[in-house]
Amino acid sequence: MEQLNNEHDFIPRMPLIGDIAPQFYANTTNGKINFPNDLAGHWIVFFSHPSDFTPVCTTEFVAFQNKIADFAEINTVLVGLSVGANASHLAWIDVIAKMKNGVQITFPLIDDLSMNVAKKYGMIHPGASDTNAVRAVFIIDPSAIIRTILYYPPVLGRNIDEIYRAVVALQTASVFGVATPADWTPGENVLTPAPTQVKQLWKHDKKTPWFLNYKKLSKDDIYRKIRKQKSGK
């Protein structure tokens, strides 16, 4: 569905949690991509950057790359986007590799000079910039459903460990049929659904309110189960 912005301009509706991730074809620093079809069966962290050769973005690229093996262990791939041409992306990646403590960026960075993909995903926020994407993060599940959306302004660098934690929490919720409480990390108690019948209510642990049902779930059990998704076992 499209929304009227003014009498001459139409913009697409921003994708929301629970939507199927909008499909697109694009060139990337790793070659052509049909997104998200080419990544079917994987969890995806799709993230945008305001621009190439910017300080905050550079630190985030290094941080994402340093965490890429951990994401891979939980069947998760990284895909970046910056409003710029592929040649600029490659030059920036070359600079990052040659920095002190630099790294070789292996995840794809989408060429989006036209801003078509950024607009399709609601990454352009006119209040911040008409030409640069904000720091958006879309966590997409193996069925191409958007499960989490995060937005950060250009001045605020993202916490990559928190994005990783969010993916683990989403996978834990999917695999075990639970929810995760505030500040949860793997190994801490999770939450099971509240009672829906009287007979369930009487079995509830009276140490907490009836709607709070905690359950122990070990870190080892979580990672053993979610890592099996990678091999399809």
Q: Which residues are catalytic?
A: 57
Residue type at position 57: C
Pair 175, 225: CB distance under 8 Å:
yes
What is the arrangement of strands in the sheet containing 43-49, beginning at the earlier edge strand? 31-35, 24-28, 109-111, 76-82, 43-49, 135-140, 146-152
Task: Report the C-alpha gap between 62 and 42 in whole angstroms.
Answer: 22
Give which of 184, 177, 181, 193 is closest to 219, Cα–Cα.
Answer: 184
Residue tagged 């460990």 (tokens): 161
Q: Are strands 109-111 and 76-82 parallel, antiparallel or unpaired?
A: parallel
